[in-house]
Amino acid sequence: DQQVKQNSPSLSVQEGRISILNCDYTNSMFDYFLWYKKYPAEGPTFLISISSIKDKNEDGRFTVFLNKSAKHLSLHIVPSQPGDSAVYFCAASLTGNTPLVFGKGTRLSVIA
Amino acid sequence: EAQVTQNPRYLITVTGKKLTVTCSQNMNHEYMSWYRQDPGLGLRQIYYSMNVEVTDKGDVPEGYKVSRKEKRNFPLILESPSPNQTSLYFCASSPENQETQYFGPGTRLLVL
């Protein structure tokens, strides 16, 4: 049973436009959500996170939105740049030292 | 430089030949974990450790062993590798707050 779902395996966006990556989760007990970015031949790197007590967190060009009632979060990248081309993983966790649960990832291609 | 290192980065082996993938972090992190990444399946946790001598199974522990004798090291042991363990493996560490994990560069394993 997949608790964190990224239903779009890939996404193509033109440079300068907005990229929106989506993530759905099934466990309403998740209270912390993260996005990781992964380039080929490298490990994932932390991008941005959000606590369940918030509905939005912004860091430069990256904004994460959380809709708890819909069990949905999204990552917005504005404006998109070619260097943003990577695989993006959504992850969720429960309070306490419990393992992160990752989605399958979405491959973003930003076209110049 | 704060980092997570893994060795080897690439490994080709044969079925049944025991192997160890080392992982080391220099950030004095409490929490360490191992993941495997497979096409279409995303990142799946194999084992994690919340502190020295404390380890626990993740989502896909079968066929793997780990040990945490020192805080900085968390080796992954495949006692009798099989072809279905061909994968890309990542080690990660984080402070006591385990949400934000720092990943190593990955180890690509091929079991023939």
Write out chain B residues lying below 8 Å of A45, CB-based: 103
Q: What spatial distance separates the first Cα and last Cα of chain A, rounded to whole Å? A: 38
User: How far is B81 from chain A, CA to nearest CA, in Å?
Assistant: 23
In angstroms, the CA A42 to CA B105 distance is: 5
Pairwise CB contact (< 8 Å): A104 & B42: yes
pLDDT score of B53 more than 70: yes
User: How far is A43 from chain B, CA to nearest CA, in Å?
Assistant: 4
In angstroms, the CA A91 to CA B43 distance is: 10
Which of B33, B92, B105 has the CB atom closest to A42's CB atom?
B105
Which of B42, B58, B100 has the CB atom closest to A99's CB atom?
B58
Write out chain A residues lying below 8 Å of B90, CB-based: 43-44
Of B78, B4, B3, nearest to B47 by C-alpha is B78
Per-residue pLDDT, A88: 97
pLDDT band at B1 (very low <50, low <70, confident <90, very high): confident
**What is the C-alpha radius of gyration for chain B, rounded to an integer number of angstroms?**
13
Give tens-digit pLDDT for B80-102. Answer: 999 999 999 999 998 865 567 89
DSSP string, B12-62: EE-TT--EEEEEEESS--SEEEEEEEETTTEEEEEEEEEETTEEEE-S--T
Which of A32, A45, A97 has the CB atom closest to B103's CB atom?
A45
Pairwise CB contact (< 8 Å): B42 & A97: no
Write out chain B residues lying below 8 Å of A97, CB-based: 31, 50, 96, 98
Mean pLDDT taken over chain B: 93
DSSP state of A98: -
Could you list the mean pLDDT of each consecutive 10-residue stretch along chain A, which spans 112 residues?
90 98 94 94 93 95 97 97 97 78 95 94
In angstroms, the CA B15 to CA A43 distance is: 26
Map tokens 């979060």 to a residue: A73
Give just the sign of the alpha carbon dihedral A78, A83, A89, A91.
negative
In angstroms, the CA B72 to CA A79 distance is: 39
Give tens-digit pLDDT for B5-35. Answer: 999 999 999 999 999 999 999 999 999 999 9
pLDDT score of B42 more than 90: no
Write out chain B residues lying below 8 Å of A52, CB-based: none
Write out chain B residues lying below 8 Å of A6, CB-based: 42
Q: What percent of chain B has pLDDT over 90?
A: 82
In angstroms, the CA A64 to CA A32 distance is: 12
Per-residue pLDDT, A96: 62
Instruction: Give the CA distances from residue B101 to residues A8, A20, B33, B104, in Å, rounded to whole numbers and listed in that order.
Output: 24, 23, 9, 10
B94 touches chain A (CB under 8 A): no
